[in-house]
Structures are given as structure tokens and as C-alpha cells.
Amino acid sequence: MGDGVTAARRSPGRPRRADAERRILDAAIDEYLERGASGFTIDGVARRAGVGKSTVYLRWPDRDTLLVDSVLARSRAIEDVDTGSLRGDLVALSVNMLRFLLDPVGFATLRLTVEAVASGSTREVTTGVADRHRRAAGLVLARAAERGEPVNPGTQARVVECLYGAITMKALAHGLETDATSEATIVAACVELVDLLLPLLLEHVRPPPDPAR
């Protein structure tokens, strides 16, 4: 549901172009996983997808835009979260994000970010993905407030930073051992994390005075 194939079927007027786009996005991911950022070229992607370079450039102005779009195309599930409670939604978001990072394609976005920072190059490559995760959390919190859950707007951004940061630490600690990391382990780790942080998101929790001050 909501994947590229369905999207292609929904564009009856131009199936061939949609099909080419899909092939290009798939080729881009494979090319990146095989060659890394430094070996990633529009040329290589076009060859792998079996299309002309100009077909790629019709849609993507440069390699970075193509790379981030291809990652996003494989991570549609990020926003598909609506369980009816803030806790449930946060657990679902966290599970999505941890699964995303334990997958080579998702992990590639983290690697791209780190490489971009290290080389001082443009970070537009990955802000697209980071923004999407942040927007998904924003939606979940806005919906909780609409339902009347006592969400504290003052702590939202920092709590989301802690949640996503802790998930990134978990992904770095586990590595890409997706087989060893069972679904139950992923869910349990996320539930634990959300239950730790949830009080900080709710209005009625105030930090106690620091005993040492």
C-alpha cells in the first residue's frame, strides 16, 4: 500500500514514465549500496536502470536529489502511523524508525549524513529524510493534542530528539543484524524507550527541583 508500484498504477496516462522512474529509484538504491557515496553517479544509475542519462535528468537535477528520493521511496511507512493513542503512535513511530535504520537502505541515510558532515558538503541529501521523521512525530503529537491528551508543547522538540537519538544509538550498537534482531526485540526496546520518555511530553509532569542546587 502506497508503494511505488501502486503509485505507478495510479498514473494511467503515463505508465511508461512511471515505470522508468521506479526502475531508476531502485537502481539508485542498489548503486549506492554497492558503491557508496563516492562511487555513486547518474551515469551508473542510468546504466543499471537501462535508461538514458537524459531520462534521469528529466526528473532529477543532480545525484544527491536522486539519492534522497530513492531512499524516501523505500521508506513510505514512516508516516503511516495512527493507533489512537499517543503512546501507541510513538511506539509505532519508533519501531518504524528502528526497522528503517536496521535495513541497509535506511542505514544508508545515516551514513550519507555522516559523510556529508565529514566532508563539509551539502546536507540537503539527508535533511529530506530527517525532516520526514520529524514531521511524522509532529503529526502524531498534533493528533494527540486534538484528542485532548495533555501534550506539553514546550518539550516536544527535545523529547523527539532524545527518542530518535536513542534509536540511532540502538541501530549503531546492533549493526545491521536484521535476522538476529527479532521483531519482538525491536518492539520491546521501543516500548521501553517510549515509556521512559512519555512523561516528559505530558503537561502535568514538572521537573522536581534539583536536590544539589
Which residues make up the interface to a copy of itself (CB under 8 A)?
84-88, 104, 107-108, 110-111, 113-115, 117-118, 120, 123, 130, 147, 149-150, 155, 158-159, 161-173, 175-176, 192-193, 195-200, 202, 204-205, 207-208, 210-213
CB of 81 to a copy of itself, least distance (A): 14
Amino acid (one-letter) located at 184: A
CB of 42 to a copy of itself, least distance (A): 22
Nearest to 126 by CA among 174, 164, 70, 76: 70
CB of 17 to a copy of itself, least distance (A): 33
**142 or 169, CB closer to a copy of itself?**
169
CB of 46 to a copy of itself, least distance (A): 24
**43 or 131, CB closer to a copy of itself?**
131
3 state SS for 8-68: HHCCCCCHHHHHHHHHHHHHHHHHHHHHCCCCCCHHHHHHHHCCCHHHHHHHCCCHHHHHH
Nearest to 37 by CA among 117, 103, 134, 101: 117
